[in-house]
A and B are shown apart, each in its own frame.
Chain A
């Protein structure tokens, strides 16, 4: 029996949670796959290595001397002229001595910390605008009401409090027009965005790509995709890759609203187009995405969390979803509180976990789906960044916890799809499945103690071949938000060490102050475990084997093992 094999999960396909074939999701091995641009993901490794060497040499001669001292690390990417958006793994560390003049007349002084990265913002007219009592235009009012929604938004930009926020994310166009800022209004930040763009284009003029700037407390991460420049400024200890991945998610979220075709079209027609006109009302999805990424490991792992459910219930729910069969209906997805209950797909079509995350964010980021049935275009960038799906979104219960998404390719199919929904609901009600799923949702998913492994406080297990993961509730001592964030931070650190591009690891055993963490990655799975601080290495290794056995035993409940197709 494969479950009793001592080498459980050492090879792909034998790990707990693995199914024979028939996968729901594209299996994403590491998130490096995600980071490379879709078109050029297959750039040969060789090229990369060659470039790496060249870049190493040329960067030494490059103008790094011009950088100010306390910016202790600047990471650039050497650009091959023909392959402009090329390869991602070229890094170089350098420290310079002198001041550094950026072309467009913006000067940066030597910096001691990011706070000083100048930006004597607040021009006179902005002040006037704020003090003025003239009634504001509706656009502004919308924005104001929106900002009051997102908690700390109304703050003065550039104030002490604004600077001390943990992570800022800015999106701007290549023409320097502000598109999105996580905190504070975009207008007030327009000169700041100008500085960001100046940095990017200055480096670009030298046939390089700006990737990141590191100061003592901050990392500034840049991502230039198509006509958009995305920048994050963070205090967290996340790795560059993780920060870049987050920016990719932000980019994908924008694409999911517009499609890449439309995005390119508007900027081709008018370079200084104000994209906020088209994005209007979707900022809250960017906000909610950024918040979700701070707490949900699904983004980190590019995997999907399933609602633990007795396999008999899950199978019947899948069969009910199968009733939604209709022409052009590609995916039927049932979500419960940010977890996947089940999904039925058209034969030969698989969903990328990233796309499912965007759907999760769409549902959790808005309350406007609670009334009636919604029919909306949505692009799934990993599936196809050029076209829209049409999503029928409706809640199946009064408490609005169980959400059904039906994705069709036909924009006029609303009534056909709406009919599918009625069939699904009828079938679910007939077998009392809505209630059964609600029951599973009401009680906490499961506690780590159920695994019966001593000293184990928490774990995250990802089955690589199916891109699904599971983890128990965060019980004490992780029952406060602070503690949870701290643990998540530790997982992030482990993850970045394991997936470090320069030195990937298979196993890490790390004793921290309050806990001992052990991460183990094989071809089949990724496992991150958290033990009490006093555990011994031998005991931890033993515990892991025991844990894997338990997951194997419970796999039917924790994972979707029998996905169906239409």
Chain B
């Protein structure tokens, strides 16, 4: 059905105002807009080609809306995702608590999904007072959940490409494996096989 091939389904989760859209914008379009905050309406999808481990692959990125209103819908988007980036705002503790919620949700519902924690707005915490999420708590939690942690700033671009490159690399490894046994159902192939079986019978 889908003419645009997507190798890796990646979903961004996190509380509203935690910087998901800015992260995508920095990564895909390499820009940062200083316009006033606009919450995402619904879910935005962007595809981005990148190279990882000598292979070209396409990341299909779902930028979900953080608003409570869309929560029921968000669940559709992490279903079958190979990777999830759970974002939280370093200047705001509640968003870290919310991130924990999403991580739990993912661990319970999508065991094959790799979870990456992304602490956003790192440029704002140069002044120690502004940091509202404790550095040790954050690292302890990441370790406990076996999730990789990145501190990024979409404004300066710090660590953004590193984060997505890491995801692509991790997924590329896995793709070698999946290439042999395609997980997605290929209707034409299966149909042929079925037909063949019919004939033999």
Contact = CB atoms under 8 A, between A and B. Distances in A.
Interface residues of B, number: 37
Interface string A453-486: 0000000000000000000000000000000000
A98 to B, nearest CB: 47
Contacts of A367: 35, 38
Contact of B36 (A148, A280, A371, A375): A148
B37 A146 contact: yes
Contact of B73 (A277, A371, A391, A411): A411
B69 interface: yes
Interface string B32-58: 000111111111111100000000000
A138 B17 contact: yes
A281 B41 CA distance: 8
Given A367-B35, A419-B2, A419-B3, A374 B43 contact: yes
B82 interface: no
A5 to B, nearest CB: 49
Contact of A414 (B38, B45, B47): B45
B2 A142 contact: no
A418 interface: yes
B95 A138 contact: yes
Given A281-B67, A412-B76, A391 B16 contact: no
Contacts of A414: 45
A44 interface: no
A115 interface: no
Interface string B1-36: 111100000000001110001001100110000011
A419 B47 CA distance: 14
A422 B42 contact: no
A483 to B, nearest CB: 30
Contacts of B38: 149, 281, 284, 366-368
Nearest to A285: B41
A281 B16 contact: yes
Given A138-B92, A281-B67, A146 B36 contact: yes
Contact of B67 (A145, A280, A366): A280
A282 B94 CA distance: 22
B75 to A, nearest CB: 11
A295 interface: no
Interface in A204-248: none
Interface in A131-160: 137-138, 141-142, 145-146, 148-149
A267 interface: no
Which of A138, A149, A257, A391 has the most CB atoms of chain B within a 10 A radius of its CB?
A: A138
Given A146-B37, A281-B16, 18 more contacts: A138-B89, A138-B95, A145-B37, A146-B36, A148-B36, A149-B36, A258-B69, A282-B41, A284-B38, A368-B39, A375-B42, A375-B43, A375-B44, A377-B70, A411-B76, A414-B45, A415-B2, A419-B3
